[in-house]
Structure 1
Amino acid sequence: MATFSAVTRQHILQAIAEYDTRGRDDFLGVYGFTPSTAATFEHEGRSYESGAVLGVAHRHATGRLATSDEFASSVDAASSILRKRGFEVTAPAARPAAPVRAEPRKRTQSAQPAKPARKSNAAPEAPPVLCPTCSMVLPATGFCDYCA
């Protein structure tokens, strides 16, 4: 289970910048998130998926990507973390109830298959290499700055 105490507003802003650079579909595809409408938040007039951005922000903070399973138990958990960091989270709009009909509808057209989800062309990012002693992310040199 991931703890998000290390995630700061700056880490979330870094994830937002990456989201903007890559685009929604590539951002979700690279990090293995699926599109979700559970909860979104707004920053500077743009809407972002809270789970994916928070997971990548956790990666910026700790070096390890937090998957949506780690906070999927409650959409409120991700929303509350983002609210504490100063972001405005919006709940999904409630769908209006369907009108009740006295007679069943006649089927006039055959059902068309749903379009398949667009797959990202971006390659998944390799997991970071960690120091076996202190578990910090190793720099490009391959030697830990703290243990070497």
Structure 2
Amino acid sequence: MALTRVYLPLTAADLEALADGRDLGTPPVPAHGVTPALGTPGLVTDEEELEHLAWEAAADEADALRDGDERRVVASADLDAGVVSVPADGDVPSRVELLAVVPRSRIVSFHVDESAGDTGTADLLWFDVTELGDVLDLLARD
């Protein structure tokens, strides 16, 4: 089955659940991805640019999830295309809903603010999924 990249804004509690070996979310799980409303690869822009727009939307949403000056966290996951649905309301062009929980095994990376309270996307640090402990340590320092 084809895989689709999605971006999930996360909280510290979500990261701890992953560290405990649990999956993410209760369906429908809100996320961001390349949707028809965002654009079609090859017509307006390329797939990588569209994915970047979806990633930025997830970072913006992560801003609303944080408490005060916490660092934002976004996870990238590769999921079976069949569990990724575009909602009819289309309030955000990159909005998708995941019709199943997100297995820990499908998360490929984390993106975390370099400093607590950051708001831009230029300073988001990239961590491989195997570095979840490092991400948790970084958040604990704040």
TM-score clears 0.5 = no
Decide which structure has the larger Cα Rg and report it: 1
Relative contact order: is structure 1 or structure 2 higher (C-alpha 8 Å, sep ≥ 6)?
A: 2
Q: What is the TM-score with the length of structure 2 in the denominator?
A: 0.25
Q: What is the TM-score with the length of structure 1 in the denominator?
A: 0.24
